[in-house]
Amino acid sequence: MKSLWEILTNPDLRGPRWLRIPKRLISIRASILLVYLLVVGGGFYAIMSTLTQEIQPRYLESMEESLVDTANILAALLEHSAEKSGFSADTIEQIFERAYERRFDAKIYSLRKDSVDLEIYLTDATGTVLFDSSNRENRGMDFSRWRDVLLTLRGEFGARASWTERNGKNALVLYVAAPVRINGSIQGVVTVGKPTSYVNELIARAESRFEYYIVAAGVAVLLLGALLSVWLTQPIKRLIAYANDLRDGKKAEYPRLFGIEANELGRAFEEMRHALEGKQYVESYVQSLTHQLKSPISGISGAAELLEGEMEDAERVKFLMNVRRESDRLQRIVDRMLELASVESRRGLEKVETIDLELLASDVLEAHESRLAQEGLEYRLIVEGKTEIRGERFLVRQAMGNVLQNAIDFSPAGSCIRIIVQGRGTRCEFVVEDQGPGIPDYALSKVTERFYSLVRPKSGEKSSGVGLSFVREIMLLHDGQLLVENLETGGVRARLCFLV
């Protein structure tokens, strides 16, 4: 047996064109909602439609049941009267004349009634009318062919429903008959009739209320279906958003999922991601490290070869200094790579606390004050707005220090470095502006890449190329941004943008 989804999506099974659903255009959420509406909505409609159609018959059945009681009570009354004074319509005729004269105010729930609308007619054993409360002109007429009289005279249950004119309008009247037995034989038939006008009013009101409930229940079914589809597809949506964040290079946290199947899917996805990331990271790490180590290793190897031969002491000292310098460079590269690896391997922050960037900036400047003086540089600290953020103090300090160190390396002697700490709405920024040569246009998009470095104008050497990459990883952990841009007046502006 084919499933509903197979029928809807299989071109050989899905039937009419209007019922066909293109696979590529419909989402899982829409599919769930559609199937839910077809199954639950269809069943709900069938039940509600059946219940609506059953309202009128149930009211009429109740009305007919009460007429059966009334007819039999009147038949018993006539039988009792006949034992004393013979079979006659006089007594019942007087009772109904007085009943029709009565006026009252009866409130039956939402219905008001002020007069008796019950009808009665009495026939003899031949079906001839002896009394008719609704029309005296019917006396003497032959009612033996009416279904209620005919069946009752045969000893069966007699009843009928006929359209008659009441107050200038056609009205459906229910008639129920009961036999009048005298000395064990049927001597007559008493029929009780009642127009359905009042009942129709009750039915109309009941149907109106029922329609309201149907609409309310239908809306509830739609909302429940929408919520159900959202609830079932939310884990997939979260995993998609998580995958997109990872694709865009963001430090995304593993989403919170519910349900056994969703968690199993999430765990499998996460394990696959770690396996792929680990493999790619090792490959990239080895390639980058190999590339960076080539230069200092070549320098050390060349100096070692020359030192094996005879040379002047001054030349020997020069080459030994070269070996030491390249060895120090190797050490810096290894240390920086370890720092970067420790940050890149993190999935989130560890010791989160409230940090005042103004105080932290002052601390960083104090740590670099001797270097600033040594390079003949001035600095100016500007603070604007609220400067508190939530983050990991050690990492934020490292990021601020690296950005400031870059500015010192590229600033000419006698220039001024501006450090700006400013709070703007939901953002707080640490900005460093220098008056150096700026960054070439071709390098602007590469300066945050691992191992990419520009020549320092003072020393003519390159750095490890890990500093800004390290800063970028720290900012991603804090859901922030590292923005580097050239100033129109010359120099570079580096911005650490944090969310408050």
The fold of 262-344 is: Helix Hairpins (1.10.287)
What is 63-203's CATH topology?
Beta-Lactamase (3.30.450)
Write the DSSP assignment of 468-485 as a string of letters: HHHHHHHHHHTT-EEEEE
Q: What is the pLDDT of residue 498?
A: 92
Task: Give me the pLDDT at residue 287, please.
Answer: 56
Q: Give the separation between CA 123 and CA 139, rounded to whole angstroms.
A: 9
Class of CATH domain 353-499: alpha beta
Q: What is the pLDDT of residue 223?
A: 82
Residue in 14, 36, 34 with CA at minimum distance from that of residue 26? 34
Q: What type of residue sits at position 455? A: V
Q: What is the pLDDT of residue 124?
A: 92
pLDDT of residue 357: 92
Show pLDDT as tens, one digit a residue, over the chain (500 residues). 444 445 444 555 445 554 454 545 566 667 777 777 777 777 777 777 777 677 777 778 888 888 999 999 999 988 888 877 766 777 788 888 888 888 888 887 777 778 888 899 999 999 999 999 888 888 999 999 999 999 999 999 999 988 887 666 777 889 999 999 988 889 999 999 988 877 777 777 777 777 787 778 778 877 887 787 777 777 777 777 777 776 676 666 667 776 676 677 667 766 766 665 655 555 555 555 565 566 566 667 766 777 777 777 777 777 677 777 767 766 766 666 666 666 666 667 778 899 999 999 999 998 888 888 888 999 999 999 889 999 988 889 888 988 998 899 888 988 999 999 999 888 999 999 999 888 888 888 888 777 677 777 676 666 666 678 888 888 888 889 999 999 988 899 999 999 88
Q: Could you tell me which residues are beta bridge partners of residue 112?
A: 107
Residues 6+ apart with CB under 8 A from 135: none
Confidence (pLDDT) at 147: 93
Bridge partners of 173? 162, 195
Predicted pLDDT of residue 149: 93
Going by DSSP bridges, is the β-strand pair 416-424/378-384 parallel, antiparallel, or unpaired?
A: parallel
Q: Where along the chain do its domains lie? A: 63-203, 262-344, 353-499
Q: How much of the chain is in helix, strand and coil states, percent to nearest 5?
A: 55, 20, 25
Per-residue pLDDT, 178: 95
